[in-house]
Structure 1
Amino acid sequence: MTNPKIVDSHCHLDFPDFDDERPAIIQRALDAGVDRMVTICTRLRQEPQVRAIAEAFDPVYYAAGTHPMSAADEPLATVDELITLAKHPKFVGIGESGLDYHYTAESADIQKKSLRIHIAAARETGLPLIIHARAADDDMAQILTDEYKNGAYTCVMHCFSSTAELARTALDLGFYLSMSGIAAFPKSQDLRDIFAAAPLDRILVETDSPYLAPPPHRGRRNEPAYAAHTARAGAALFDLPYADFAAQTTANFDRLFWKAAA
């Protein structure tokens, strides 16, 4: 019996954690039913290496942007640069970008500037914006809302683990919430409640691998195959058969990440 198809909407296959093992990791993902993966470039100077992984493996797509924790250390992206990258057939999203005041609050101003550039590129290309938000909920809600008034764009709140208020702001703008292994941690009931209150047609699944492995692999290196564990936790949360939750989140992915649609 084959596993229901799901998508790992956010992983980092270029990270050294996966060196020498990528073909096996991708095969394990396929065996687990994870038939597509989006690998994320977090520094634009590394885009050629990330693109090469997407070109080498049929199930892998990619996105690129400047991670907020790197915003002060990297050259500021330009809208034109991101638009040019987006012409590649396997380039499917803008980011990850966003705000992180937990580790890098001192670079808040440059993070905000970088975020607005990525939003403009998402608006221009029609590709989804991929958002990283940590300890910056008020500024994040404000920027996402203000920029939406300047022109619509689509967006996923990747690895969502913020407040119910930020979730509501994002959902009201038509955005998506992505469920990572955190949602399967025993102590994450408050986060599960936020997901359970969201519309089912706005939920995605991801690993953020090599980070945040869900149980039963918690504390070890994460990989795309483990998206199935998070998806099973999501199915239980929505009181759905696994196959139905898998089908719904896959349809959601295809709608948002239209360039990678099945």
Structure 2
Amino acid sequence: MKLFDTHCHLMDRRFEEDLEEVLARARAAGVTRIVVPAVDLDTSHQVIRIAEAHDGVYAAVGIHPEAAGEVPDGAYGEIERMAAHPKVVAIGEIGLDYYWDSAPRPVQQQVMAAQVEIAKRAGLPIIVHNRESTEDVLDLLARLRPGDAAGGVMHCFNEREDVMQRAVDLGMYISFAGPVTYKKSDDLRAVAARVPEDRLLIETDSPYLSPHPFRGKRNEPARVALVAEVLASARGVTMDEIARVTWENGHRLFRKVEA
């Protein structure tokens, strides 16, 4: 059984001391493909270095909405150049975050839009962060239509079924992380059961959002297996089936990832 963690922040300082051990545990759990999204220009360089150093690990480059207020001069050109790297498979993590509101909302929207256009020119999918900004995220996706180009994924999905369906209709994939395993997440599991099979992905968002029964502890990619197990139960299929489907979907979306 092969598993694909489509969102894991291995450049986070919490992995500085034991990254090799973390990756060894991932491989032992069957996790042989990992996408590591950046959050700003500096981490975009970091994730490329990590991807270059490890088989099965790939990078996404971009500016997170929490960093949208401090985009350096020339950043977009640099991101577009990095997008040509053979191990850069997406533009991300990009999006909108109205919970932290670290940058004015129009600025966040402009930064996201600029990076969607980079993704379209580069022929890469986008990785979308959405926190308390659903309508504006969907409106921007509907206007810029990245789903008509290389597509994208709504990462760490935690929304209603109608939002899921609107995102799918816009050409997006839907990825679930640790929250789908939490005891009070019955509504989210019901949504997960309704995602079209060809749009379903799994992730850890490590080091954040560790799944049950490790909630509150540092997350790591090996635990994507726990997300897969819960999705299998919610959808009434086997773990092997969820692994197969999400593996195939991950490779379909992130086309530069080696099969």
* TM-score bin, normalised by smaller chain: over 0.9
2:101 is paired with a residue whose SS is: helix
1:39 is paired with a residue whose SS is: strand
1:223 aligned onto 2:220: yes
Match of 2:175 in 1: 178
State the distance in 1 between where 2:248 and 2:74 align. 31
1:123 aligned onto 2:120: yes
Match of 1:67 in 2: 64
* Structure 2, unaligned runs of 5 or more: none
Matched AA of 2:157: F
TM-score, length basis structure 2 = 0.95
Match of 2:240 in 1: 243
1:26 aligned onto 2:23: yes
Matched AA of 1:254: H
State the distance in 2 between where 1:105 and 1:61 align. 28
Q: How many Å apart are 1:123 and its aligned residue?
A: 1.0
Matched AA of 2:91: I
Q: Do 2:4 and 2:247's aligned partners in 1 also have CA atoms closer than 8 Å?
A: yes
The counterpart of 1:44, out of the listed 33, 41, 56, is 41
Q: How many Å apart are 1:222 and its aligned residue?
A: 0.2
Match of 2:13 in 1: 16
Q: How far does the alpha carbon of each residue in 1:64-110 deviate from its partner, in whole angstroms, 9 at most, with x for none?
A: 11000111133277553322111111101001100000111752111
Structure 1's 229 and 76: CA in aligned 2 closer, same or farther, altered over 3 A? Answer: farther
Match of 1:191 in 2: 188
Q: How many Å apart are 1:45 and its aligned residue?
A: 2.2
1:102 is paired with a residue whose SS is: coil
Q: Do 2:120 and 2:150's aligned partners in 1 also have CA atoms closer than 8 Å?
A: yes
Out of 204-213 and 103-112, give the one that drifted further: 103-112
* Structure 1, unaligned runs of 5 or more: none
Match of 2:80 in 1: 83
Q: Figure out how many residues of one structure are paired with residues of the other and give that number.
A: 259
State the distance in 1 between where 2:231 and 2:147 align. 34
Q: How far does the alpha carbon of each residue in 1:125-180 deviate from its partner, in whole angstroms, 9 at most, with x for none?
A: 12110000010111111110011199634010011112333212110012100010
Q: Do 1:119 and 1:153's aligned partners in 2 also have CA atoms closer than 8 Å?
A: no
Structure 1's 151 and 247: CA in aligned 2 closer, same or farther, altered over 3 A? Answer: closer
Q: How many Å apart are 1:194 and its aligned residue?
A: 1.5
Q: How far does the alpha carbon of each residue in 1:184-209 deviate from its partner, in whole angstroms, 9 at most, with x for none?
A: 11111111112211101101000000
1:47 is paired with a residue whose SS is: helix
State the distance in 1 between where 2:181 and 2:87 align. 30
Out of 161-170 and 83-92, give the one that drifted further: 161-170
TM-score, length basis structure 1 = 0.94
Matched AA of 1:35: T
